[in-house]
Each structure stands twice: as structure tokens, then as C-alpha cells.
Amino acid sequence: MGTMRCGGRVLAVVAALAVVTTACGGGSGSGDGTTLSMWTFKQTHVKALEAAAAVFKAQTGITVNITAYTPDDTYTSKVQSAAASHNVADVLEVHAGGEDRVLGGAGIISDLAPDVNDQYKSRFLKGTADTGLITEQVYQDSLKPKATDPGVQKGQLYSVPFTAGTFGIVYANKDMLTAAGVDASKPPSSWQELISWLKATHDRNPRAGGVTMGLKSSSTGLDWALEPMAFAQLGRRDYEALFGTDKAKSWGSPNGQKVLEQYDQLTPYWTAGTQTLAIDEADRAFAQGKSAFDVGGTFTISAIQQNGLNPDKILSFPIPAPEGSVTSDFKLAPIALTGLSLSAQTPNRDAALKWVDFLTRQQQAGAFAQAALDLPGTDLGADASKLVGPYLSTMEAAFGSGDSAYNPGDSTFMGPTWDIEAAGDILVKMSPLKELDPAGTNAQLAVYNNSVNSGK
């Protein structure tokens, strides 16, 4: 198998034509460090970033122009073509722990390791600072034939955390809980209690008393509910073994059966048609009172609020651990969801570094969180409640670290081509579709896991 340097040429032609025809489209700033450009794929971040840019200009005299390209695939295409025509923005907001490595390996964004020391890193939430770091494991994985991030080198740092959060947060409608005779003042103490709550709200209101999730993206069931529950139930070692090659402990084993039977307890309580709802649609359905529970991440709160449900009416809590779980004191590890990266082509590197430093300082991060309703990667410390309000700070309280904390960003123990949508489709066939029972689901996941690991 040979290699050929030609992908960029065509993109360069296309990008050049696009630039000629539009005579705009962003690109790097002034070149003298007085004007910067920044691209983001999150429309909800634009106003908050523009507000930050106004403060930054007052402090430094540097202008920052913010542009959003949505949805994600449009953003990806934009960065691809701009990189080929050397017209990438000075600063990019990227998906942390994935896209940053791909862009870094391709030489599109630059290594921040020389500029971000341990003291700098200490400002971020525990466990998130090194999301963009190329560790030995990441480097070794990058050498595999079908790796997503070829070209990275050990020790490089391609992003610093910008927003953080985690998956596996349950939102419940307090009014519906109360109407069903459930004490809505504190979260359920176990998975079993959560199921009993679901039964109560569903019995009370069969049409709208169930649980919803954006299962149109079938990965959500696996990623947001089953995996954290399985981590708590089995403990870290046996949870990770589910995705390994030891057939006594991987999918198809009694451990797989156990977690699937637990998850299958949700099946009677899904809101009708939840398998056809996209993530935003599920959040909207919950906010509109069409469902008593909604499963998502820390980021879901902003969608629910934007859809008009008063946060006072919501009880939120992490997916609870089943009774008899191996993991004691189960927590959710925060991960950097998005990061800030610098273009490798920027002529304004010093100014861009100043902007990144400014955005990730505690006070500015708090202001951003308030404006964008998104949790920053910067640790807001004791001032969290004051800076971001009670709901986002409650989320921070659910975070933990160490062996008892489930980290959704860690996929190093999974097969190299594990596709969460393909696996999610199998899970959806069990719950809510009832086409498979837990044993059949376990068998199909075993076949899929074995095929994924056969490439190791």
C-alpha cells in the first residue's frame, strides 16, 4: 500500500473557487496580531463568544471575529477545504479528544504543549486538562492501519478544554413525580428505585409518564444509559472486559447478560415513538410534558430550558447504580466536550494564545457559562454556584474521578473499529423495539464485538 499526496490539491481547487466566488469565509486574521478569527460548530456559543471578544478587545485592543459553521459535517468540510487553501481561522473550537487529534495529526492545528504548562493546566476541571494530549496509548493506536489520527506524536497537546460535561444524567419532571406519589425532593438511591419511579409515573399517566431519549441516534441508549449503569454494576475492570477478547467476560458472557437484563427493565416505560426522536426532539418532548423522564448529558439542561420548562420543575441526577453494584460511590467523570485549538497556519500565534488564555480564565469561563448555558472546562471552584447558577453547579457536584468514576471519553479498551451506532442499533432492537430478548441481544453484541476485535 502506497501513499499519495493528492487529497489536498483538489480540495485546494474547490476551496480556492469558493473563496473567489464568495470573497469571504473567514480565514486567518490580519497577520499583525490585531485581528483574530475564530470558528465554532456551536451556534449557541456565538453570542457568548462575541460578548467575550468585546471584553477582550477592551483589555488588549485585539479584535476577534467569531463565525459558526453548523451542523458538524459542514464544519468538518469547511475546515478540510480551508486547510487545503491555507485559510483556516486562527482559533478553532473542536470536539475534544477526537477531532483535535485528527486535525493535529494532519498538521492543520498546532502543538500547544510548549505553551501550556502544569500551572496552566491546573485551571481546568480535574481529569479534563489532558484530553487533547497524545499519550503513549493514543500514539500506539494512531499507528494502526485504520486509525483516525495518523501522524500524531507522543507528548503533543492539540487542544485545551473549553466546555466540559458528561453523559448519563437523568432529568425528571417534579410535578409528574409528585402527582404519582413519588418524593421529588431527592434523587433515587438505586437503579431499582428509578425503575419503581418510572412505574409509578407510567401507571399514573401511561401516555406521558415514561422516559424519552434521542434514540433516532441509536448510540444514545448505549452511551448515555447502559454503559454508565454497566460500569457501576460490574466495576471498572469487568465493564472494560465486556469490550475485550476474553469470551468469559466480554459480550456474550454472563456479565453481558446481567447488564442487558438490567437495562431491559426500562423497556415497558419508554414514551411511545421515542425511537423516532432525535436528541433535540426528545428534549423538547420532555420540556413539553410529553414525557416524565429524559436521559441526556450535562448539556441537556440548556436544551430543556430553551424549550420552556422552568428548571425549578426539574430534578436531575446521574444514572443511579443498581443495588449490589461492584462500584461503590459511583460517580461520573467530567470530560472535555469541546476544546480550543490553534491553527498551524496562523500568523497571529501570540495573539491567539492570549485569546485562548483569556477564554479559559475562571471569571471569563463563568461569564461564558452564564451566557451560553454550557458548563466550562475551567474549574469554577467555590464560586461555581455564583458564577453559573444553581443548576450547572449541581451538575458539577455529580462529578468525580478515580476508579469509581465512569469516563465516557475513554474508549481505549474497545476494539479499534467499534462503531457505537452499529452497536446501538442492536440494543434498540431489544429496548424499546422488543425484537430481541437480553439473551439474543447479548449474542448479537458478542458477534459484533468479536468482529471488531478480529482486526486487533
Partner 1 sequence: MAARVRSRQALTGYVFVLPAVALFAVMGVYTVGYGLALSFARWNGFTPYWTWVGVGNYLDLIYRDPTIAPIVQGAAVRTVVVMIAQPVLTVLISFPLAVALNRITLLRAAFRTVFFLPQVTAGIALYYAWSYALQPDGSLNFILRHLGLGTIAQPQGWLGNPATALPTLIVVAVFGAVPVAMLLYLTGLQSIDQSVIDAARVDGAGGLRTMTSVVWPLLLPITGAVVVLNLRDALQGFSQTLLMTNGGPGGHTLVLGLESYNLAFFSGLKPTLGLSSALGWILFVIALLLAAVNLRALRSRA
- List residues binding partner 1 (CB under 8 A): 1-8, 10, 13, 73, 76, 79-80, 83, 98-99, 102-103, 105-108, 145-148, 150-151, 215-218, 272-276, 278, 417, 419, 421-422, 425-426, 428-429, 432-433, 435, 448, 451-452, 454-455
- Using the minimum distance from each CB to partner 1, give the nearer residue, 219 or 364: 219
Choice between 216 and 258, CB closer to partner 1: 216
Min CB(270)–partner 1 separation in Å: 9
| Residue 321 near residue 190 (C-beta atoms within 8 A) | yes
User: Minimum Å distance from CB 183 to partner 1?
Assistant: 30
Phi-psi category of residue 253: left, alpha or beta, with phi > 0 → left and psi -120 to 50 → alpha: beta
Q: Of 271 and 346, which CB lies nearer to partner 1 in the complex structure?
A: 271
Which is nearer to partner 1, 102 or 303 (by Cβ)?
102
In the complex, what is the shortest distance from the CB of residue 73 to partner 1, in angstroms, rounded to a whole number?
Answer: 4
Report the nearest approach of partner 1 to the CB of residue 151 (Å).
6
CB-CB neighbours of 178 under 10 Å: 12
Q: Which residue, 400, 225, 426, 212, is CA-closest to 304?
A: 212
For cell 481561522, name the residue: 89
Length of the chain: 456
Q: Which is nearer to partner 1, 159 or 394 (CB)?
A: 159
C-alpha–C-alpha distance, residues 15 and 24, integer Å:
11
Nearer to partner 1, 178 or 288 (CB): 288
* Nearest distance, CB of residue 36 and partner 1, angstroms: 23
Cα distances from 447 to residues 106, 259, 350, 452, 453, in angstroms, run 34, 17, 51, 9, 10
| Minimal distance, residue 45 CB to partner 1, in Å | 21
- Kindly provide the b/e burial profile for residues 138-170, where b requires at least 16 CB atoms within 10 angstroms of the residue's own CB: bbebbeeeebebeebeeebbbbbbbbbbbbbbb
Shortest distance, CB of residue 216 to partner 1, whole angstroms? 5
What are phi and psi for residue 56, nearest 5 degrees?
-60, -40
CA–CA distance, 21 with 14 (Å, rounded to integer): 11
The answer to whether 210 touches 286, Cβ cutoff 8 Å, is no
Q: At what angle do helices 7-22 and 72-84 cross, to 10 degrees?
A: 100
Q: Are 136 and 412 in contact (CB under 8 A)?
A: no
Nearer to partner 1, 150 or 311 (CB): 150
